[in-house]
Structure 1
Amino acid sequence: MNVHVPSPPTKSAAEPARWAVWAAHLTTLVVLPSGLWRIAMVLGFPAGYTAAGFVPFETLGSKAWMLTLSVLCELVAFLTIGLVRPWGEVIPRWIPLIGGRRVRPMAVVAPAALGAVVLTALWANAPWWWTYPHEDMTPTGHLLVGILYQPMVLWGPLTAAVTISYYRRHRAAQRLASTA
């Protein structure tokens, strides 16, 4: 009995530029320092807070929020890698019902571009961390936390750059397909 097994879709765009691959992977690294800082607090280390300042972070709800936030930030940053990997073009086969289908480029570009704008706006004030008072932190903690959060300024622009690269690669592939 012959069973026809469809072949997987081929890639539709050129390989991503090396800088785009590096930038995509860098997004996961710029989020890491702040996430590790929050996880240290979840584990009970004051991580720069005074004894009194750390009290609000000792509740189960606060710990759950900090852990959830750390994991979510890393997962969202990891999605940027999809802009330079095959799973950003074809849904992995292991995903039920939709696995193996081609991803429409604008279904990727629109949320990635929106995310880049939101992240850029969200972290735009991070360079001025040291100008804001943090009475519940030790002077060393104030310095350290400021340093740990500085890489977050890069998250939005890196995501934007990789998104533009993805868009250009797929736009060029669509133009080539339409002229063929």
Structure 2
Amino acid sequence: MSIQANPSTVVTPAVPAPRWAVWAAHVTTLVVLPSGLWRIALVLGYPAGYSAAGFAGFETVGAKAWMLTLSVLCELGAFLTIGLVRPWGEVVPGWVPLIGGRRVRPMAAVVPAAFGAVALTLLWANVPLWWTYPHADMTRAGNLVVGILYQPLVLWGPLLAAVTFSYYRRHHARSPVNDC
């Protein structure tokens, strides 16, 4: 099977992604979801574990816009992991202006994904310690719930790293001129 990139180019897809990599890519979108839904609850006016005084800071338009934007960007970022196991990670979809239909150079996907995996791993590494320090602006139950909702984020970086490594191996192995 080949993918039609544009009228003059036909790209042969890489070896299909292993089942575990496809699974991991899809799970990535799910590990981001609980924290995003919690932030959306804040946007909708639900204190979601904050005390009345702590929640007051989230009632501004700017705070709501930031929380909503952060939730959407995190989920979209996690969704990009699926591109590492799907054809649109090999050929840019035709509807994308200017570059649609072009082959994705493997390193153009691997390098940002690898940096993202490292950054996410470092960013969320302290989440398991959530319960070790008190959060004055939160209720005890809220602290527990938020801690639970953020725990899956610890997996985001490692899952992205594993899927990125799989993508690299599949594309590096087939490249006769080592252009990746």
Confirm or deny: 8 A CA contact 1:31 1:73 kept in the other structure: yes
Secondary structure in 1 matching 2:10? coil
Which amino acid letter does the alignment assign opposite residue 30 of structure 2?
L
Q: Which runs of 4+ in 1 moved over 3 A?
A: none
Corresponding position of 2:101:
100
Distance 1:41 1:8 in 2: 48
1:24 aligns with 2:25: yes
1:57 aligns with 2:49: no
Secondary structure in 1 matching 2:47? coil
Distance 1:83 1:15 in 2: 10
Distance 1:103 1:9 in 2: 13
Which amino acid letter does the alignment assign opposite residue 86 of structure 1?
P
1:9 Cα shift? 2.5
Corresponding position of 2:156:
155
Distance 1:11 1:120 in 2: 33
**Unmatched 5+ stretches in structure 2:** 1-5
What's the % identity of the aligned pairs?
Answer: 75
Corresponding position of 2:77:
76
- Once the two structures are superposed, what CA deviation does each residue of 1:40-68 show, in whole Å capped at 9, x if it has no partner? 00000000001111000101100000000
Confirm or deny: 8 A CA contact 2:22 2:82 kept in the other structure: yes
Distance 1:100 1:35 in 2: 32
- Once the two structures are superposed, what CA deviation does each residue of 1:104-163 show, in whole Å capped at 9, x if it has no partner? 000100000000000000000000000121011111100000000000000000000000
Corresponding position of 1:132:
133
Confirm or deny: 8 A CA contact 1:12 1:173 kept in the other structure: no
Confirm or deny: 8 A CA contact 2:13 2:87 kept in the other structure: no
Normalising by structure 1, what TM-score? 0.93
1:165 aligns with 2:166: yes
Confirm or deny: 8 A CA contact 2:17 2:85 kept in the other structure: yes
1:11 Cα shift? 3.1
Indicate the RMSD between aligned Cα atoms, in angstroms.
1.3
Normalising by structure 2, what TM-score? 0.93
Confirm or deny: 8 A CA contact 2:22 2:85 kept in the other structure: yes
Corresponding position of 2:3:
none
Confirm or deny: 8 A CA contact 1:16 1:84 kept in the other structure: yes
- Once the two structures are superposed, what CA deviation does each residue of 1:64-100 show, in whole Å capped at 9, x if it has no partner? 0000000000000000000000000000011122111
Secondary structure in 1 matching 2:38? helix
